[in-house]
Amino acid sequence: MIQTITSRDNSLIKHAKKLMNSPRYRREQRQFVVEGMRLCLDAVASQVTIQSLFYTEQAEKRYQSAVEQIGLIAAKRVKVSPSVMTYLTDTQTPQGVFCVCIALDKNECVYKMDNNPRRILALEDIQDPSNLGTILRTAEAMGIGGVLMSRGCCDIYSPKVLRGSMGAVFRIPFTITEDLPSSLDEMKKMGYWVYGAVPSRQAEPVTGMRFPERSAVVVGNEGNGLTDTCINACGGLVTIPMPGRAESLNAATAAGILLWEMVREDHTQRSGADGNE
């Protein structure tokens, strides 16, 4: 019979708690935590390596087959008391299930992948985990080939990013680069058209352009936009023309509209419809 852990001082519990709270510890350990039934099943389906499954007795009863399914794959099963579960979880109404997973080892750089992705999204220093999660979810929905992130972006394994992405983190190819401008330079040399997104009338309105076969859009930090170094590394600048008075859009909304514009043409061609007929 599996023993139930009731103490917060247990080393497994301490480890999990630290993984939840510390991006640095996650990086050192190359592990992260996935919370909630749906995300855990998403991780399983995406063949994420599950180190250990933590669950309460209540959750085991309620989600019996799912807990079984995850338990079969997890290297370790850990039953915890409800109070330890509440202590550990980030959500207000924990479902009583989470997994410690091994970080996704994506050795291949997104713009060098064999499948030669047509479209790349690059992000510079996106700080808000909800924004990053939303952006990854949108990128997946739009069928973007991969996401390139500066090291200054918030941690992709933070619980909020995982939740906001609806599991897209597990599925979409991504690369974290230490030097985004150099990576953009390299992309250009490889034949990508790299467009920096800026809220400026001097940039090319996205409505007037056609994204080339292989192209990338670069979206900057929420408060400061793209750095000058990054802007200089872009081959062109693109903007979303706005009639209203708000000086700019939320970063996730701007990314959403730009990604949509990247793939929009595919749809108008496929359906034969013409927005300007």
Rounded to 10 degrees, the C-alpha dihedral 68/73/75/78 comes to: -20
Q: To the nearest whole angstrom, how small is the minimum distance from the Cβ of residue 1 to its own copies?
A: 37
Question: Which residues are CB-neighbours of 277 under 8 A, at least 6 positions away?
Answer: none
Nearer to its own copies, 114 or 277 (CB): 277
Is residue 264 involved in binding its own copies (CB under 8 A)? yes
**51, 52, 95, 138: which one binds its own copies (CB under 8 A):** 138
Distance in angstroms (rounded) separating the CA atoms of residues 37 and 113: 32
Site string for its own copies, 145-174 (x = CB under 8 A): -------------------x-x-x--x---
**Residue among 100, 128, 219, 120 at smallest CA distance from 173:** 120
Q: To the nearest whole angstrom, how small is the minimum distance from the Cβ of residue 204 to its own copies?
A: 10
- 251 three-state secondary structure: helix
Q: To the nearest whole angstrom, how small is the minimum distance from the Cβ of residue 110 to its own copies?
A: 15
Question: Which residues are CB-neighbours of 95 under 8 A, at least 6 positions away?
Answer: 35, 36, 37, 59, 63
Scanning 33-41, 56-64, 225-233, 235-243 for contacts with its own copies by CB under 8 A, the matching segment is: 235-243
Task: Read off the tokens for 116.
Answer: 């030669």
Is residue 124 involved in binding its own copies (CB under 8 A)? no
Task: Read off the tokens for 120.
Answer: 């790349």
Rounded to 10 degrees, the C-alpha dihedral 152/123/135/130 comes to: 20
Look at the chain and count its residues.
277
Q: How many Cβ atoms sit within 10 Å of the Cβ of residue 85? A: 22
Q: To the nearest whole angstrom, how small is the minimum distance from the Cβ of residue 142 to its own copies?
A: 6
Q: How many Cβ atoms sit within 10 Å of the Cβ of residue 276? A: 4
Is residue 243 involved in binding its own copies (CB under 8 A)? yes
Q: To the nearest whole angstrom, how small is the minimum distance from the Cβ of residue 71 to its own copies?
A: 26
Nearer to its own copies, 16 or 161 (CB): 161
Is residue 45 involved in binding its own copies (CB under 8 A)? no
Q: To the nearest whole angstrom, how small is the minimum distance from the Cβ of residue 207 to its own copies?
A: 4
Q: DSSP character for 198?
A: -
**91, 207, 229, 232: which one binds its own copies (CB under 8 A):** 207
Catalog residues that contact its own copies under the rule CB under 8 A.
Answer: 130, 134, 137-144, 164, 166, 168, 171, 205, 207-210, 240-246, 248-250, 252-253, 256-257, 260, 263-269, 271, 273-276
